[in-house]
């Protein structure tokens, strides 16, 4: 027992030390395992359930049901998503349902965003921000700030994008709000991805994924896997990225695919991998699929990158004319949505390409565009502001980590102090438990020896035992006479004689034996029988029956080795006991030791 307890304590201490160690260098695989576990154990409502719920709902419940259908369709069909969102918006206004009104308004801003209508989206966001009531709905507001950061990033206004995301994250940290933190990390990850700082992007992406898993927000899983694959491609190469996309396809067999919005990005990212691997036919196939989805759904802000990838594909194929056309398409589509960072990058490529092809005028034009956009995007002021914001965030993280370390340090000190106390108590209690164990063992051995001797003597000297019993009976009669003559002497003797005869017939081995049944057998009433047992046997009926059973059992255990080695349940049943617990209790009460110990010692003595 002592050794066992000591090992438990040591094992616990080892767990404490292991838990504090850093994660392995493979950061992504454990997340994929957790994602799969979440998806397999999540109950996701299907389209039929959502439609039925909406059909059977009224008032605010109808608004909420329509908003659920918007969420279902937003990545699948912008048109259907807009239809259900418009219904929610109209009902919310009629019902003065603030939460529904703000959510549906923000949903409309997101629809503008995916269609590349950044100005319209930002105008709607500003309207929401101006409302005092809007500040109450923390999750809707977190989504609003995240969308605002996305738009700033797409426009190339990086300092504003980062400032918005960092402010949101600090709010989440201050309030310990997991949803706000999840959305803030999504915005920061998107920001670093556009800056092509892939390590920082992945780090923030995984931080956000922690909260997605915590909150069981399955709807964000597919876009997050796509982001991880894209970042992994840049950091670890195409092989690892394709493995993650294989995992993405595996998940599609478990739950419904996210729809065209995510799928178009996935196809573009897979195409980028195949372009790098020079598997150009596969790359072209995926790019054509992506462009088909983008055109069908009017995802205007995805067009510039799709055309840039097509230009890279044509360059790999040696088709500079087609590549130049693709870059021009990318430039025009970026101009439409004011994606200045794409305009800058594409202008640089068009300048170089036109120069190589001998189109000096166009080369000069795009050079001037590149320089002017670069100056406007990366002014000294904006660069400095971005650096200040990053420094502020690092200081905030360091301060928070310091607080956490201090708390952990105090907690660890208290834990070790507690463990030391527990270990000391365990050792002391173990020492006394060991002493107690040996004392009990010695006592049990003495009880066994005494019980065995008495049982053998009773078995081998029946006559003597009967003589002793006769004396005891006389003593009991004398003793009973002093008990105020509780019962007529003749009635008492008749009951006692019949009871002794029943004992010889081992009536007590019947498990259904009761005071009522024995009284019927003796043709007397229960009260008289109970009085005779109480006064003549010096016990109550229950103890009387159990003592008879144990005495009978002792003799049988001594005589019958085969019976002795039967299962305890069988021994208990054949001795008249209904269950093992009653048997153990009666045996221990009568002899002070357990039947298993008695049988074990009998076998040891015999061997």
The CATH number of residue 573's host domain is: 1.10.10.60
* Range picked from 97-111, 330-344, 450-464, 565-579 for highest mean pLDDT: 97-111
| Predicted confidence (pLDDT) at residue 390 exceeds the cutoff of 80 | no
Query: pLDDT-derived band of residue 605, with 50, 70 and 90 as boundaries?
Result: confident
Domain match, 366 and 467 both = no
Q: Is 463 in the same domain as 594? A: yes
Average pLDDT over residues 355-370: 90
Mean pLDDT (whole number) for 94-116: 94
Residue 283 has pLDDT above 60, yes or no: yes
Question: For residues 174 and 154, what is the distance between their CA atoms, to the nearest angstrom?
Answer: 28
Is 10 within a domain? no
pLDDT above 90: residue 6: no
Cα–Cα distance, 259 to 252 (Å, whole number): 11
- pLDDT of 195-225, one tens digit each? 889 999 999 999 999 999 999 988 889 899 9
Whether 413 shows a pLDDT value over 80: the answer reads no
Q: What is the mean pLDDT of residues 232-240?
A: 91
Q: pLDDT value at position 273?
A: 93
Would you say residue 574 has pLDDT above 70?
Answer: yes
Which of 339, 363, 378 terminates a domain? The answer is 378
* Residue 380: band (very low, low, confident or very high) from pLDDT cuts 50, 70, 90: very low
**What are the backbone dihedrals phi and psi of residue 510, each rounded to the nearest 5 degrees, phi first?**
-75, 120
Q: Is the pLDDT score of 96 beyond 70?
A: yes
Token pair in block for residue 83 = 């239809």
157 located within any domain: no
Residue 388 banded pLDDT, cuts 50, 70, 90:
low
Q: What is the mean pLDDT of residues 386-407?
A: 62
Query: Does residue 566 carry a pLDDT above 50?
Result: yes
Check residue 456 and give its pLDDT. Answer: 65
pLDDT computed for residue 397 by the predictor:
62
- Summarised one tens digit per residue, pLDDT across range 308-323 is 999 999 999 999 999 9
Q: What is the pTM of this model?
A: 0.60
**Percent of the chain surpassing pLDDT 90:** 41
Confidence of residue 477 (pLDDT cuts 50, 70, 90): very low
Token digits of residue 118: 């950044």
> Using an 8 Å Cβ cutoff, are 150 and 187 in contact?
yes
Does residue 440 surpass a pLDDT of 80? no
What per-residue confidence (pLDDT) applies to 31?
A: 92
pLDDT of residue 10: 43
Q: How many domains does the chain have?
A: 2
Q: What is the pLDDT of residue 400?
A: 59
Domain assignment present for residue 463? The answer is: yes
Residue 183 pLDDT grade (very low, low, confident, very high; cuts 50, 70, 90):
very high
Greatest distance between any 2 Cα atoms in the chain: 139
Residue 462 shares a structural domain with residue 601: yes
Tell me the mean pLDDT in the region 108-112. 95
CA distance 258 to 76: 7
Picking from 185, 198, 124, 110, the residue whose alpha carbon sits closest to that of residue 154 is: 110
Closest CA to 208 of 227, 232, 195, 233: 227
d(CA 569, CA 577): 9
602 and 504 in a common domain = yes
Reply yes or no on whether the pLDDT at 178 is more than 50: yes
The CATH number of whichever domain residue 264 belongs to comes to 1.25.40.10
Asked if 350 and 486 sit in the same domain, the reply is: no
Indicate whether 470 and 367 sit together in one domain: no
Q: What value, to the nearest 5°, has the Cα angle with vertex 35 and ends 32 and 38?
A: 155
Of 331, 356, 378, which residue is a domain's last?
A: 378
Q: Are residues 368 and 467 in the same domain?
A: no
Average pLDDT over residues 269-282: 93
- Calculate the average pLDDT of the chain: 83
Q: Of 327, 344, 378, which residue constitutes the final position of a domain?
A: 378
If you average pLDDT over residues 233-239, what whole number do you get?
91
Task: Quote the Cα angle for 17-20-25, to 5°.
Answer: 120
Residue bearing the bigger pLDDT, 224 or 42: 224
Output the pLDDT for position 294. 92
What's the average model confidence in pLDDT over 576-581? 86
Q: What does residue 238 show for φ and ψ, rounded to 5 degrees?
A: -70, -30
Specify if 589 maps to a domain. yes
CA distance 355 to 353: 5
Residue 560 placed within a domain? yes
- Kindly state whether residues 357 and 482 are assigned to the same domain: no
Question: Does residue 169 sit in helix, strand or coil?
Answer: helix
Which residue did the predictor score with more confidence, 116 or 483?
116
Asked, for residue 279, whether it belongs to a domain, the answer is: yes
- On the question of pLDDT at 348 being above 70, the answer is yes
- Top pLDDT among 246 and 24 is at 246
Whether residue 368 is found in the same domain as residue 488? no
**Is the model's pLDDT at 468 over the cut of 60?**
no
Does residue 19 belong to any structural domain of this protein?
no
Query: What is d(CA 255, CA 265) in angstroms, rounded to the nearest whole number?
Result: 19
Candidate ranges 102-111, 239-248, 250-259, 467-476; pick with highest mean pLDDT: 102-111
**Domain enclosing residue 346, as ranges:** 259-378
Examine the domain organization and report whether 270 and 367 are in the same domain.
Answer: yes
**What average pLDDT does this structure show over 286-290?**
94
Confidence (pLDDT) at 480: 40
Q: Tell which residue, 459, 545, 472, 469, has the closest CA to residue 507.
A: 545
42, two tokens: 């999540």
Q: Between residues 339 and 169, which one has the greater pLDDT?
A: 169
Examine residue 201 and state whether it is found in any structural domain, yes or no.
no
Assess whether pLDDT exceeds 50 at residue 481.
Answer: no
Give the C-alpha separation, 91 to 1, whole Å.
69
E strands within 265-342? none
């Amino acid at each position: 027992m002592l050794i066992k307890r000591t090992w438990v304590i040591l094992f616990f201490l080892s767990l404490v030390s292991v838990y504090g160690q850093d994660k392995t260098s493979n950061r992504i695989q454990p997340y994929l395992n957790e994602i799969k576990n979440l998806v397999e154990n999540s109950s996701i409502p299907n389209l039929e359930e959502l439609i039925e719920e909406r059909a059977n709902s009224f008032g605010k419940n109808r608004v909420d049901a329509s908003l659920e259908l918007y969420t279902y369709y937003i990545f699948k069909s912008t048109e259907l998503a807009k239809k259900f969102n418009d219904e929610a918006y109209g009902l919310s206004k009629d019902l003065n349902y603030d939460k529904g009104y703000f959510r549906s308004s923000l949903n409309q801003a997101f629809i503008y965003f995916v269609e590349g209508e950044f100005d319209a989206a930002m105008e709607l966001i500003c309207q929401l921000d101006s409302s005092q009531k809007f500040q109450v709905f923390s999750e809707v507001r977190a989504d609003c700030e995240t969308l605002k950061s996305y738009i700033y990033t797409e426009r190339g206004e990086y300092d504003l994008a980062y400032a918005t995301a960092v402010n949101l994250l600090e709010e989440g940290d201050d309030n310990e709000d997991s949803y706000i933190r999840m959305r803030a990390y999504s915005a920061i990850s998107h920001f670093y991805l556009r800056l092509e700082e892939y390590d920082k992007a992945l780090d923030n992406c995984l931080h956000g994924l922690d909260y997605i898993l915590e909150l069981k927000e399955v709807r964000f899983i597919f876009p997050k896997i796509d982001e991880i694959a894209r970042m992994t491609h840049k950091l670890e190469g195409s092989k690892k990225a394709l493995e993650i996309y294989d995992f993405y396809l595996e998940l599609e067999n478990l739950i419904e695919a996210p729809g065209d919005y995510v799928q178009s990005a996935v196809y573009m990212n897979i195409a980028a991998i195949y372009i790098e691997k020079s598997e150009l036919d596969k790359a072209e196939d995926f790019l054509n699929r992506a462009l088909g989805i983008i055109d069908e759904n009017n995802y205007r802000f995805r067009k510039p990158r799709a055309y840039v990838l097509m230009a890279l594909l044509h360059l790999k194929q040696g088709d500079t004319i087609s590549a130049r056309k693709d870059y021009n398409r990318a430039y025009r589509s970026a101009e439409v949505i004011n994606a200045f960072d794409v305009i800058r990058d594409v202008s640089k490529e068009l300048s170089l390409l036109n120069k190589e092809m001998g189109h000096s005028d166009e080369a000069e034009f795009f050079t001037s565009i590149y320089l002017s956009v670069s100056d406007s995007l990366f002014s000294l002021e904006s660069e400095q502001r971005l650096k200040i914001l990053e420094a502020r965030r690092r200081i905030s993280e360091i301060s928070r980590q310091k607080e956490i370390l201090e708390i952990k340090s105090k907690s660890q000190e208290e834990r070790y102090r507690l463990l030391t106390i527990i270990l000391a108590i365990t050792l002391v209690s173990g020492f006394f438990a060991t002493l107690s164990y040996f004392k009990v063992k010695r006592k049990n051995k003495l009880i066994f020896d005494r019980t065995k001797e008495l049982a053998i003597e009773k078995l081998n000297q029946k006559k003597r035992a009967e003589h002793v019993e006769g004396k005891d009976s006389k003593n009991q009669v004398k003793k009973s006479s002093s008990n105020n003559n509780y019962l007529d002497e003749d009635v008492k003797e008749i009951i006692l004689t019949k009871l002794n005869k029943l004992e010889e017939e081992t009536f007590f081995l019947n498990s259904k034996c009761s005071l009522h049944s024995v009284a019927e057998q003796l043709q007397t009433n229960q009260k008289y029988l109970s009085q005779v047992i109480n006064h003549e046997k010096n016990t109550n009926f229950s103890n009387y029956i159990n003592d008879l059973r144990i005495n009978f059992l002792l003799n049988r255990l001594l005589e019958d080795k085969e019976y002795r080695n039967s299962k305890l349940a069988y021994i208990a049943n054949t001795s008249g006991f209904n269950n093992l617990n009653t048997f153990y209790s009666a045996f221990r009460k009568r002899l002070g030791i357990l039947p298993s110990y008695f049988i074990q010692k009998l076998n040891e003595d015999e061997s």
